[in-house]
Structure 1
């Protein structure tokens, strides 16, 4: 019986140990996510070409690097999906992804990176790729438009300011081109309609922005970036409007007001 009891203990494995009363239970914290090491990409195949460049020092901010990598991976995945659609056939011209990331601002309070490029998968021209990333090192997170201005009333005011600047630009351009009255009226009407639709008070219309900072690193204005087709035709390219801090601050969430220069 003693032998059988010993064998049963071995089969059941070692006895569990319960922490003594009052003894702290030790828990192992999960390991942090592995840092993303970004490196430039150049790949040339018969059916596609990929070129992606990253700014020096971006790997210093792992969370920002992960966000940038996710955008680049998504752009490349859509290219490869289009390439796979050909099967064994070959496109008349190689499909292409060209994407460049540039560091715009780097201060202890924030880091801003711009992504600009295009993806060609057939047709008359490539699809524009435009994105902006604003990283807050102290909080280790991205600053998004909906976090910066949480209420729709804020976007009503900000959108109104942006819309006025864009409408003025259309009128100035029409005058500079010395268009005949009828042609000018049609041009302005069409352009104004695109501007109005692209600047409605929806936070998604203002998600791409980059800070303009002073010598102390405080934000004096935000430059809102609009890709082709949002507020103008493809031929007009990417358009931007600078909104000064004085217009923004009444609508900025209190936790981010300290990033701005006092008006």
Structure 2
């Protein structure tokens, strides 16, 4: 009886008391508080209100953190679609709204993985909204490489902006010459497009958030390919545009933690 009494006292002393002094059971974490790995699978949904088509690379689940980032992006785009669909209430759009996304793994090395997402979301109007995103993943750090982390120096973004603007300006002039426009039309086109380019390439990380690395045979970065969706640096008809910025220009401004990734 003494042993049992001591055991009971010991149990009571290790159980947190309630306000009334009664012992509580051990505290456990609520179900669902631990993040479970995300397993990405292709999605196809079709009904008379909306259509969803999403495809992923077969190997993407090898990188759980990257898979989670892609899933979060997909869910955000899907939420935008469903908000527009639900605005109809019991009615339905004249043509099904649509979300189309294709993820492609464009770089896969031990140090760098990159995925390109291209698609559109249609919620009425003449055409869908382009969806352009790029994900650069560092497997050793299990983290996404972002533009602001890669180039923390404002001078770096000024150098990148100057280079990108020059390339895009030159491309506009060349297209205008090829189209053999009338002088007045040519001047108007160049002026309006230059204005879009200059606004869309202001020297800040947010304007250069979508990029993928261009690698040499040894896996080092020789350039960053910055991707600009329609409307950022040109009209919708110009589509998605890209500019490769060489490593030699980038390296003086790259954060030391990432300098080893670049060719010298």
The reply to whether TM is greater than 0.5 is yes
Residue 68 of structure 1 and its aligned partner are, at CA, apart by 0.4
Give the corresponding residue for 2:110.
108
Q: 1-side partners of 2:40 and 2:107: how far apart? A: 19
- Of 194, 213, 216, which aligns to 1:211? 213
| Structure 2 residue 94 is matched with structure 1 residue 86 | no
TM-score, reference length from structure 1: 0.90
- Of 141, 144, 151, which aligns to 1:142? 144
Q: 2-side partners of 1:240 and 1:118: how far apart? A: 18
Residue 12 of structure 1 and its aligned partner are, at CA, apart by 9.1
Give the corresponding residue for 1:16.
14
- Match runs of 1:1-263 below 5 Å: 10=8, 13-16=11-14, 33-262=35-264
Residue 33 of structure 1 and its aligned partner are, at CA, apart by 3.0
TM-score, reference length from structure 2: 0.89
**SS of residue matched to 1:192:** helix
Alignment size in residue pairs: 247
Deviations 1:167-209 (A, max 9, x none): 0000000000011111100000000000000000111000000
Deviations 1:47-80 (A, max 9, x none): 0000000011100000000000000010001100
Runs of 4+ displaced beyond 6 Å? none
**SS of residue matched to 2:12:** coil
CA root-mean-square deviation: 2.1
Q: 2-side partners of 1:60 and 1:152: how far apart? A: 35
Deviations 1:75-107 (A, max 9, x none): 001100100000011100000000000000000
Deviations 1:210-261 (A, max 9, x none): 0110111111110000001100011111100000101111110111010011
Q: 2-side partners of 1:227 and 1:197: how far apart? A: 14
**SS of residue matched to 2:135:** strand
Structure 1: stretches of 5+ with no match in the other structure: 18-30
**SS of residue matched to 1:14:** helix
**SS of residue matched to 1:102:** strand
**SS of residue matched to 1:43:** strand
